[in-house]
Amino acid sequence: MTKEVEQAFKAAIPIFIGYVPAAVAFGILSKGCGITLLQCFLFSAVVFAGASQFIALNLLMTGMGGGGVILTTLLVNFRHFLMSASLSTRVSQMSRRAHVLMAFGVTDEVFSVLSFRKGTLTKRFVFLLELSAYSAWVSGTVAGYILGGFLPDILTKSMGVALYALLLAILVPELKNSIKAVVLAIASGLLNSVLIKLDILPDGWTIIVCILVVALAGTFFMVDDVREEVYG
Amino acid sequence: MDNVIPIIFGMAAVTYIPRLLPFLMLTNKEIPKRVDSFLKCIPVAAIGALIVPGVFNSTPDMPVAGIAGILFALVFGLWKGGIIIPVIGAVVVTYSVLFFGV
C-alpha cells in the first residue's frame, strides 16, 4: 500500500514540474485579459484542460461568443474521449462512482502515465495521481494570477520541455520491448507532423485523426496487439 | 468580462462529458476482440502524436535547447530507464543551453 502511494507521487513529480509553469502562464495571461481571479480559478478548477483554456482566452479576446468558445473547446478536448475509451477497459474492478470521478482527471499526461502503468490500476494510484496533477494545475494558475511571473523566465522556458520528456520517458520502455510500438509511435508522430503542416484540421483534431488511423492500422496489420507483448 | 462564468461551465461540460462517456459505455461490457485491440493500440498512437512534432518546438526562442533536453531524456531513458531523472535532467540540460546560449 505505501509502495503504491510512493509510486503515485513519483509518477506525479514530472507532471507537477510540467504543469506548474504552464498553469502560472495561464494565470498571468488571464489577468492580462481582464479576467477576474475567481473566473481564472474556475477555468482551471472546473475545466482542467490546459491547451483548451489558452485557446478559450484567445477566442474571448477576439470577441467570439460563448457558443463558439464552447464548441471549440469540445473539438479541442475530444481526443480525451478516445483516451478514456482506452482506459475504461482497465478499470472494471472499480465502482461506478469511481469512474465518474476519475473521468474528470483524464488529461493527456495522466492518461499516458496510467496507460503504461503495469498491472492493475487501483483506485488509490489513479486518484493520487489525478489529485496531484489537479492541485499542480489549480495552484499554479492561482499563483500565476496573484504573483505574476515569479518564476525566472529562463526556468519557465526550460520547464516547457518537461511534459515532452515525461511522455518520452513513459514511451521508451515500451519501445525497447516491442518493435510494433516503435512503428506505431513513429507513424503517429509523422502523420501528426504532416497533418499540422497541411493545416486543414481544427486544433486538437490532428491528434484524433492520428489516434484513429494509427490505432486502426495497428489493429488490422498487427493482429497480436502491442500491449499484450509487454503486459503478457 | 462578466459573462465568462457561464462559458466556463459550458466548457467544463463539453470537456467532462467526452471524458466520462466511455467509462459508462465500455466498462464491464463484453468488447469484441478487434475493438479491444484497437483500444489497446491507442496509448502508443496517442503518445507518438503528443510528442511529435511539438517536441521540436518546446523552447520556441531556441529550439535546439529543448531538443538537447529531449535527447538527454531519450538517451538516459534507453540506458537506465526511469521517469524522474530523464525529466529533471531534460529541464537542466535545456536550462543550461538556454542559459549559456550555445
Q: Do A219 and B74 count as a contact with CB atoms less than 8 A apart?
A: no
Structural domain including A117 reads 2-163
Within this chain, do residues A123 and A65 fall inside the same structural domain, yes or no?
yes
The answer as to whether A168 is a domain residue is no
ipTM of the modeled complex: 0.93
Q: How many CA atoms lie within 13 A of A174 on its CB side?
A: 30
- What does the alpha-carbon distance between residue A9 and residue B91 come to, in Å, rounded to a whole number? 19
Q: In A, which residues are within 8 Å of B24 by CB distance?
A: 96, 99
pLDDT at A232: 37
B23 near A CB under 8 A: yes
Q: What is the three-class DSSP state of A141?
A: helix
From the CA of B20, how many Å to the nearest CA of chain A? 5
pTM, 2 dp: 0.89
The answer as to whether A172 is a domain residue is no
What residues contact A160, with CB distance under 8 A and at least 6 apart?
A21, A22, B58, B59, B66, B94
pLDDT digits (tens, 9 = 90+) for A111-148: 999 999 988 899 999 999 999 999 999 999 999 999 98
The answer as to whether A186 is a domain residue is yes
- What does the alpha-carbon distance between residue A201 and residue A210 come to, in Å, rounded to a whole number? 12
The answer as to whether A173 is a domain residue is no
- What does the alpha-carbon distance between residue B39 and residue B35 come to, in Å, rounded to a whole number? 6
Q: Are A205 and B20 in contact (CB under 8 A)?
A: no
Q: Do B54 and A164 count as a contact with CB atoms less than 8 A apart?
A: yes
Within this chain, do residues A142 and A197 fall inside the same structural domain, yes or no?
no
- What does the alpha-carbon distance between residue B60 and residue B64 come to, in Å, rounded to a whole number? 9
Residue A28 has pLDDT above 80, yes or no: yes
A194 near B CB under 8 A: no
- What does the alpha-carbon distance between residue A207 and residue A188 come to, in Å, rounded to a whole number? 9
Within this chain, do residues A106 and A187 fall inside the same structural domain, yes or no?
no
pLDDT at B102: 61
B53 near A CB under 8 A: yes
The answer as to whether A170 is a domain residue is no
- Looking at every residue in chain B, the average pLDDT score rounds to 93
What percentage of residues in chain A have a pLDDT greater than 70? Answer: 95
- What does the alpha-carbon distance between residue A109 and residue B37 come to, in Å, rounded to a whole number? 22
pLDDT digits (tens, 9 = 90+) for A64-112: 899 999 999 999 999 999 999 999 999 999 999 999 999 999 999 999 9
From the CA of A141, how many Å to the nearest CA of chain B? 15
Within this chain, do residues A90 and A144 fall inside the same structural domain, yes or no?
yes
A48 near B CB under 8 A: yes
Within this chain, do residues A130 and A191 fall inside the same structural domain, yes or no?
no
